[in-house]
Structure 1
Amino acid sequence: MVHLGRSISIAELRNFAETGETSRQLRWYLNVANLEPERFRAVLTREVTLNLQLVDRITHSVPGEFFLFQLGQIIHTPSRQANIQALRSSLILSVSEDNRLSLLEFMENYPTQGIHVDGVVLARTANRVRGVIDNIEPVVASVEEFLGGLICDCEAPQPTATTQ
């Protein structure tokens, strides 16, 4: 297997997130991925609020470990060993301080020296997800159209006063 790749340091990503300035290396990646810098910056810094105990419980459950296994096919340790543990650790560390998680914080808390992202698997997964969404949208529209005739979005009738 041939490995082609370049590295971006977390410090470069942090600087980009804070200042908007791109390094030469980051510009290369953004161009290859056809990403707008501001959109990528928003993805890096967007925070999601999560409950620490819930994250801990979910990542230790069978469905949670399956999700981490699948994610580990895209984001993994340099040795491809202990991916589930590394992903779980990064999630828990990221949420533990303030119950918030961002992609940048996740990467900063990743427990190994490097994080490998398999761009081919990521692209394939993104295409599959896009395909599922494209196939679901017409179905959802049809269901909404069908239900639209059955569900009234009108005001409830007001009770009338009766005189005796």
Structure 2
Amino acid sequence: MHFNFLGLRRILVLVGTTCLLFLSTPAFAAEQIVLKYGVFRESLSVEELSTFAQTGQLSRSLRVNLALARQDPKATRQYLTEPVKINPVFLDRVLNSQIGNIFLDKISQVIYTPSRRADRQALRAALVLSASQDGQVSLIEIIKNYPTNEVEVDGNRLESAYRQLRRLQTSLQDLLNF
């Protein structure tokens, strides 16, 4: 009697992720962000960063932080909001593979838990939840859907994280067209 454990594992992961997505409530989403730019470190609400991403209007603390770090607010906003189209089911499958772990490790150098524990799992959940909402992902969505109260972001590497998302999108499209 041959039992396909790999197929069963995929089904269980998909069912588990689906349950997580449908049972998730805003209480499990990030509320605070620690935005780091070199030696500068600013704690602000995710809502404050989200407002900036949506409207372009900077709060006083965010304006000061970006100015001290010599960051262009327009570029920062673009990296936060530019959507990347991704099929949520295929994304979930890829993120639960060795290649997906490599991708998650790269992005978790930019967006991570304060304890630096379970970064892969937290990022995987945020990515899949973000993609399941509208078939696309943006960095601000990942931050908003991060499953811890606080999330840390290396602001100097936002562009790198955005480029990694673009690479993932291209790789997934290539696999789908294969």
Which position in structure 2 is the counterpart of 1:150? Answer: none
Per the TM alignment, residue 118 of structure 1 is displaced from its structure 2 partner at its CA by 4.1
The structure 1 segments of at least 4 consecutive aligned residues displaced by more than 4 Å after TM superposition are none
Which position in structure 2 is the counterpart of 1:162? Answer: none
On the 8 A contact 2:80/2:139 being kept in 1, the answer is: yes
Which position in structure 2 is the counterpart of 1:140? Answer: none
Residue 83 (structure 2) pairs with residue 53 (structure 1): no
TM-score, scaled to structure 2: 0.61
Which residue of the other structure, out of 81, 104, 123, is the alignment partner of 1:87?
123
Which residue of the other structure, out of 150, 162, 167, is the alignment partner of 1:114?
150
Consecutive unaligned residues in structure 2, runs of 5 or more: 1-38, 164-178
- Deviation per CA, 1:83-126: give whole Å up to 9, x if none: 00000000000000210111111110000011112467x49x96
Greater percentage in helix? 2
Which position in structure 2 is the counterpart of 1:145? Answer: none
Closer, same or farther: CA 119–38 of 1 in aligned 2, 3 Å: closer
Q: When the two structures are aligned, how many residues end up with a matched partner?
A: 123
Which position in structure 2 is the counterpart of 1:33? Answer: 69
On the 8 A contact 2:40/2:69 being kept in 1, the answer is: no
Consecutive unaligned residues in structure 1, runs of 5 or more: 130-164
Higher relative contact order (CA 8 A, sep 6+): 2
In 2, the alpha carbon distance for the partners of 1:73 and 1:38 equals: 22
What SS class does the counterpart of residue 123 from structure 2 fall into? Answer: helix
Query: Mapping of 1:5-154 within 5 angstroms?
Result: 5-118=41-154, 122=157
In 2, the alpha carbon distance for the partners of 1:33 and 1:76 equals: 20
On the 8 A contact 2:80/2:140 being kept in 1, the answer is: yes
In 2, the alpha carbon distance for the partners of 1:18 and 1:74 equals: 21
On the 8 A contact 2:40/2:65 being kept in 1, the answer is: no
In 1, the alpha carbon distance for the partners of 2:109 and 2:125 equals: 17
In 1, the alpha carbon distance for the partners of 2:75 and 2:107 equals: 22
